[in-house]
């Protein structure tokens, strides 16, 4: 089966056909670096990583561009309110530029911990102010802009196609608008450029043909996607929340400036929920990869958990589910390791089935089930191993390089264990059991093997 992907634009599964043979232009909306990423944010990057892996498994060369939003969007209230970067700066007492660098590094560390392949091109919003300004000028030239006292806005009423991606009901939106329009002409109009307030000294502001200020929050993606991938490229991804506003406006801008809908396919990852509610940064506490590590989890266990659910359905996070994933991953790794070192080729039939699952809109849950079917099959060990390592190009668990962890055993623990091993071999069961209890008190479990024992931490 050839690759089929769900396209939000058509709300249907479409066969994937690249615009240029053998190549894929992919733009994925990146983080706003005013705070750490939480594991809900990272679910979307895991979905996109799965996508790039599947594209590569299909033989495509993927030109993957991701932005770093290091200029503040606005905290709330449709183009009103304070700037997130400036707010983060005030919170931490560091410059906006410093915290942008800090959280960018933290984000990349998270990607690494989850074994997410980095994009081929990173681009920072603040490095592309000129591109954003000229993009706005292009829109202005086409007659879609108007100026208010606080910025330059896009007049969505001049664009009959506006809101198609989100299937927006413009009339309904006007009626149910939750915020004041201010000087905006329509509820769906959005800022292209915002002016710095006269009394305000911003850390991040630039001169523009319209006045000193900063870019609106959708223009960077349109401008950078245009610069690195052209007027029309293959796939654009983001979280489900981007459908109705951010991506709708990216399309709007690009359509005004260049007459395309920016990307041929639009794909969206769905949210991670906790306690059946969306995980959010504004709701205070949120789960970071570092917290998982601190609690003794391997971040790859979280990756495993995400792969057990389809990217297009919401996933309810719980520690119980993460425990299950960690156990399953541990066994899978041990299983693959135990298959030995023999050389073999991947089993063509299983690989074909595997590709069929992944090519069906990235069905990782079924692909994972197939891995277990393969493990239970009666194929030769070496062939199983080669096949699973092939599968892992999609999973990204790092199965090929995994080896059981060598644990450092303190000398006193080793001494007790040796004593128990001697007692056991002397069939002194009472003493052996007593010493096992002693080990447990020290926090160690002892497993008897045929010719030797192994120790593991409790």
Residues in 162-221 that interact with RNA by CB under 7 A: 166-167, 169, 172-173, 175-179, 187, 217
The least CB distance from residue 344 to RNA, in Å, is 20
Residue 67 · residue 126 · CB < 8 Å: no
Site for RNA in 93-122 (CB under 7 A): none
Q: Tell me the closest approach of the beta carbon of residue 340 to RNA, in angstroms.
A: 14
Least distance (Å) between residue 156 CB and RNA: 11
Tokens of 411: 């000398």
Distances from the Cα of 141 to the Cαs of 159, 278, 441, in angstroms?
Answer: 15, 41, 76
Instruction: Kindly indicate which of the ranges 58-66, 232-240, 294-302, 401-409 contains the residues binding RNA, using the contact rule CB under 7 A.
Output: 232-240
Measured CA to CA, the distance from residue 300 to residue 306 in angstroms comes to 10
* Residue 44 buriedness (CB in 10 A; 0-12 / 13-18 / 19+): buried
- Residue 80, judged by CB atoms within 10 A of its CB (0-12, 13-18, 19+), counts as middle
Do the Cβ atoms of 263 and 233 come closer than 8 Å? yes
Pair of tokens at residue 132? 């954003």
Which residue from 68, 225, 432, 439 is in contact with RNA, where contact means CB under 7 A?
432
74 touching RNA, by CB under 7 A: yes
Binding mask 391-430 for RNA (x = CB under 7 A): ---------------------------------x----x-
In this chain, which stretch among 58-66, 78-86, 206-214, 406-414 interacts with RNA, using CB under 7 A? Answer: 78-86
Query: Would you count residue 78 as binding RNA (CB under 7 A)?
Result: yes
Residue at token pair 């681009």: 123
Q: ∠349-355-361 over CA atoms, to 5°?
A: 150
The smaller minimum CB distance to RNA, of residues 62 and 325, is found at 325
Q: Which helix (H) or strand (E) holds 27?
A: strand 23-28
Q: Between residues 18 and 135, which has the closer beta carbon with respect to RNA?
A: 135
User: Taking contact as CB under 7 A, which single stretch among the options 15-23, 66-74, 139-147, 250-258 is the one that binds RNA?
Assistant: 66-74
The nearer residue to RNA, 207 or 319, going by C-beta atoms, is: 319
250 binds RNA (CB under 7 A): no
Token pair belonging to 323: 């425990």
Single out the segment in contact with RNA by CB under 7 A; choices: 137-145, 201-209, 241-249, 379-387. Answer: 241-249
Binder of RNA out of 15, 17, 280, 410 (CB under 7 A)? 280
The radius of gyration computed from the CA coordinates of the chain, to the nearest angstrom, equals: 27
CB of 347 to RNA, least distance (A): 17
Nearer to RNA (CB atom), residue 3 or residue 18: 3
Residues 135-154 close enough to bind RNA by CB under 7 A: none
Least separation, in Å, of the C-beta of 21 and RNA? Answer: 29
**Shortest Å, Cβ 243 to RNA:** 6
DSSP string, 325-360: HHHHHHHHHHHHHHT-S---PPPHHHHHHHHHHHHB
Residue number, 118 or 433, with CB nearest to RNA: 433
Please state the φ and ψ torsions of residue 65, each to the nearest 5 degrees: -110, 130
For residues 304 and 301, give the distance between their C-alpha atoms in angstroms, rounded to a whole number.
5
- Nearest CB to RNA, comparing residues 41 and 387: 41
Nearest to residue 126, comparing CAs of 245, 219, 238? Answer: 219
Q: Which of residues 26-65 bind RNA (CB under 7 A)?
A: 29, 31-32, 37-38, 40-41, 43-44
Distance (Å, whole) CA 58 – CA 50:
12
**CB environment 394-421: b (16+ within 10 A), e (fewer):** bbbbebeebeeeeeeeeeebeebbebbb
Q: Which two tokens stand for residue 10?
A: 């058509």
Contact residues for 309 (Cβ-Cβ < 8 A; gap 6+) = 315, 365
Give the number of residues written for the chain: 458
Q: Does 127 bind RNA (CB under 7 A)?
A: no
Q: Count residues contacting RNA (CB under 7 A)? A: 88
Nearer to RNA, 32 or 63 (CB): 32
Among 79, 110, 131, 255, binds RNA (CB under 7 A): 79
| Residues of this chain, 281-340, that bind RNA according to CB under 7 A | 281-282, 305, 308-310, 313-316, 318, 320-321, 323-325, 327-328, 331, 334-335
Residues 361-390 that bind RNA (CB under 7 A): 363, 365-366, 368-369, 372-373, 376
Binding to RNA by residue 10, rule CB under 7 A? Answer: no
Q: Are strands 4-7 and 12-15 parallel, antiparallel or unpaired?
A: antiparallel
State in angstroms the smallest separation of the CB of 20 from RNA: 26
DSSP label of 20: B
Smallest distance, Å, CB 175 to RNA? Answer: 6
CB of 258 to RNA, least distance (A): 22
Q: Which is nearer to RNA, 18 or 416 (CB)?
A: 416
């Amino acid at each position: 089966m050839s690759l089929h992907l769900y396209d939000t634009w058509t709300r249907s599964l479409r066969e994937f056909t690249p615009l240029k043979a053998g190549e894929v232009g992919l733009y994925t909306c990146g983080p706003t670096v005013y705070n750490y990423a939480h594991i809900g944010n990272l679910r979307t990057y895991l979905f996109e990583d799965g996508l790039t892996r599947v594209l590569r498994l299909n033989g495509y060369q993927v030109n993957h561009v991701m932005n770093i939003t290091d200029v503040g969007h606005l905290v709330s209230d449709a183009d009103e309110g304070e700037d997130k970067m400036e707010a983060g700066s005030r919170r931490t007492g560091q410059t906006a530029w410093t915290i942008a660098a800090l959280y960018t590094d933290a984000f990349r560390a998270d990607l690494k911990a989850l074994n997410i392949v980095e994009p081929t091109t990173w681009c920072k919003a603040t490095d592309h102010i000129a591109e954003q300004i000229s993009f706005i000028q292009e829109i202005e030239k086409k007659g879609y802009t108007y100026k208010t006292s606080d910025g330059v806005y896009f007049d969505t009423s001049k664009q009959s196609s506006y809101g198609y991606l989100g299937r927006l009901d413009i009339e309904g939106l006007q009626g149910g608008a939750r915020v004041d329009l201010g000087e905006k002409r329509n509820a769906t109009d959005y800022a292209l450029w915002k002016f710095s307030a006269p009394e305000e000294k911003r850390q991040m502001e630039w001169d523009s043909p319209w006045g000193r200020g900063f870019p609106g929050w959708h223009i960077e993606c349109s401008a950078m996607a245009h610069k690195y991938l052209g007027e029309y490229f293959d796939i654009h991804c983001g979280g489900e929340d981007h459908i109705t506003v951010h991506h709708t406006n990216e399309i709007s801008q690009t359509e005004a400036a260049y007459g395309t809908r920016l990307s041929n396919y639009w794909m969206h990852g769905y949210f991670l929920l906790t306690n059946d509610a969306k995980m959010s940064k504004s709701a205070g506490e949120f789960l970071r990869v570092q917290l998982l590590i601190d609690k003794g989890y391997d971040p790859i266990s979280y990756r495993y958990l995400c792969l057990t659910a389809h990217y297009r359905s919401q996933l309810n996070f719980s520690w119980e589910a993460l425990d299950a994933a960690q156990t399953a991953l541990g066994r899978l790794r041990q299983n693959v390791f135990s298959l030995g070192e023999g050389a073999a080729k991947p089993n063509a039939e299983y690989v074909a089935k595997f590709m069929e699952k992944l090519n069906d809109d990235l069905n990782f849950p079924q692909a994972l089930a197939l891995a277990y079917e393969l493990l239970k099959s009666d194929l030769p060990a070496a062939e199983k191993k080669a096949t699973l390592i092939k599968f892992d190009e999609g999973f990204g668990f790092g199965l090929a390089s995994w080896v059981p962890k060598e644990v450092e055993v303190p000398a006193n623990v080793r001494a007790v264990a040796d004593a128990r091993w001697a007692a056991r071999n002397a069939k002194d069961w009472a003493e052996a059991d007593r010493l096992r209890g002693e080990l447990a008190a020290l926090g160690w479990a002892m497993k008897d093997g045929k010719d030797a024992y192994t120790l593991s931490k409790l």
